[in-house]
Amino acid sequence: MEQESISQVRDLVNQAARCYGERIFLRYLEKKEIREIREKTFQEVKEESSAIGQLLLSEFPKRRVHCGIIGRTSCEYIEAYLGTVMSGNVIVPLDAKLPLTDACTLLNQADCEVLFYDNNRMEFLPEIKKLCPQINCFIELESSALKNRIGKLSQSFSGELASQLNERDLAAVFFTSGTTGRNKGVMITHHMIVVNAFAKEYRHSEKDVILSLLPIHHMYCVMLDLFISIRSGNKLCINDAMIHLSKNIRRFQPTKMMMVPVIIEEYYKKLKREEKVNTGTLDEIKEKIFGKNLNFIYSGGAKLNTELVRGYERFGITIGESYGMTECFLISTGTREQIWSGSVGIPIGGMNVRIAPDGEICLKGDSVMIGYYNNPEQTQQVLNPEGWFATGDLGCFGQDGTLHITGRKKNLIILNNGENIVPEEIELKFKKEEVVEEVVITSFENSKLAAVIYPNLEWCRQNEIDAVYEQLQSVTERINESLPSFKRIQKIVMRDKEFPKTASGKIIRNQEYC
């Protein structure tokens, strides 16, 4: 499918139905005791999504509304998502793991008047209605009543929604939670979705089978798994729960998956454990863990250990690392050679990147958000009148034009002697040590650095290491030898539990750990 004449999401879905029609689009497990695989074609998804859009237009004929959606990834979720956006309304995806009061705060913040929810949220409806009085339309995603209504609407109209849409219209509000824990509603237009769906850096084969396993409320997941699969004509398989991931990988036999580094590392450990007990070939070991067909993993969300790239290559699986964020989705993508060199690759086409005098990475292009919803002050802090977005990341360009990320601006440690410390540079050295599970570099007494470490207790048990703190001391001494004096660690704090994290799994740093 080519981008010509496609300017908004409705065009994209309709064109996919014309191009791929009766080809299978979604594959998912029936929610019954007998776990049968169900399938829907591109045409079926287009018709049912359009029917949901028609339902919203019949409820709100004279104005567009914001529709919150909360639940696990499912066929019903995807159709509600697409139907909302195709009808000119605005979708607001929320993290299904959010506490009830936090979810209600975001629903109010986004001015939601409609809420799509799955059956796991049924018991919370009375409290949601109390905390969100402006929501006057509640739609259960898996209900038979909704399915019956969609069926009737599918028969009573042509399947082409009549509402007027412009490519610059608001399509979605994605909430982003930084490591300070504050939520901002990122405004995404139809144009931004279409531009990213047709990014040449993510051109799939029509034969590719994608397994979607990350939470669909994340921009990265919904773009790479959903919209690029629609554009490319792929089969999109839904992993119904993380505890079923290994079974579903073997069940659906994907060719490509998107993962975050922590999952990539977890599955590499599985490969290595299997290699120790399995006398078969590397292909046979890979098939035991990933099935026969997996050949590519997209990595995003955090920095990837380059050793994992080499490790997966042994088993015939290529890892491509991407650098992006909710405010502009995809910034750059790297080849394996570029990842090995420590970069995040070359900026994608249409994305202008410059480094500010203080080292901050700034962006300008069609993929950059239009602002934070109902938050002009924070918008002005990161988006200047010329359209340059300040990412908050520190970085530089290599001689070959590749982009290197060195840390976060807000994490910068300034010692009382004037030295600037990028903690991520030191943390990366610790993360390469097997005894270290998580680490945060912080300061104390305004002049010294401390390493706050949550050790890898499982590794310690497997290697019969009882003196864990002494092991961390030995690692720290070795790392200090590679650092200039002002960057050396002068204190170790060993934690007995993991660091608190944001909804996206990033360590929250705005706490006293030392």
Say if CB 248 and CB 237 are below 8 A apart: yes
Give the right CATH number for 412-494 from 3.40.109.10, 3.30.300.30, 3.10.450.50, 3.40.228.10: 3.30.300.30
**How would DSSP label each residue in 223-289?**
IIIIIHHHHHT-EEEE---GGGHHHHHHHH--SEEEE-HHHHHHHHHHHHHHHHH--S-HHHHHHHH
How much is the pTM? 0.86
How many angstroms separate the Cα of 30 from the Cα of each of 55, 217, 317, 411?
25, 22, 30, 45
pLDDT digits (tens, 9 = 90+) for 159-206: 567 678 889 999 999 998 654 456 899 999 999 999 999 988 887 888
3-class SS at 334? strand
| CA contacts within 13 A on the Cβ side of 387 | 11
**What pLDDT does 179 receive?**
45
pLDDT digits (tens, 9 = 90+) for 393-423: 999 999 888 998 888 888 889 888 788 898 9
d(CA 158, CA 229): 25
d(CA 190, CA 192): 5
pLDDT digits (tens, 9 = 90+) for 307-334: 898 899 999 999 988 888 999 888 888 7
Give the mean pLDDT of 423-451. 92
**What pLDDT does 264 receive?**
93
Q: Which residues contact 410 (CB under 8 A, 6 or more apart)?
A: 179, 180, 392
Residues forming a β-bridge with 318: 296
3-class SS at 106? helix
Least confident of 74-83, 422-431, 496-505: 496-505
d(CA 471, CA 112): 52
**What pLDDT does 180 receive?**
46
260-408 matches 412-494 in fold = no
**H or E segment and range at residue 363:** strand 360-365
Check whether 471 has a pLDDT greater than 90: yes
Fold of 260-408: Rossmann fold (3.40.50)
Q: State in Å, rounded, how far the first CA of the chain is from the last one.
A: 54
d(CA 79, CA 55): 12
What are phi and psi for residue 157, nearest 5 degrees? -140, 170
How many angstroms separate the Cα of 48 from the Cα of each of 10, 18, 80, 88, 460?
13, 15, 9, 16, 52
CATH fourth-level superfamily of 9-200+216-235 = ANL, N-terminal domain (3.40.50.12780)
d(CA 295, CA 64): 42
Give residue limits of the domains in the chain: 9-200+216-235, 260-408, 412-494
Quickly count: other Cβ atoms within 10 Å of residue 307's Cβ: 12
**What pLDDT does 235 receive?**
97
How many angstroms separate the Cα of 75 from the Cα of each of 118, 154, 193, 237?
11, 17, 20, 10
Q: What is the DSSP letter of 324?
A: E
Say if CB 298 and CB 257 are below 8 A apart: yes
d(CA 186, CA 183): 9
Give helix then strand counts, H and E, for the chain.
Answer: 18, 24
Alpha-helical segments (H) within 303-371: 306-313, 336-340
What's the mean pLDDT when you consider all of the chain?
Answer: 90
pLDDT digits (tens, 9 = 90+) for 3-38: 888 999 999 999 999 999 999 999 999 876 567 899
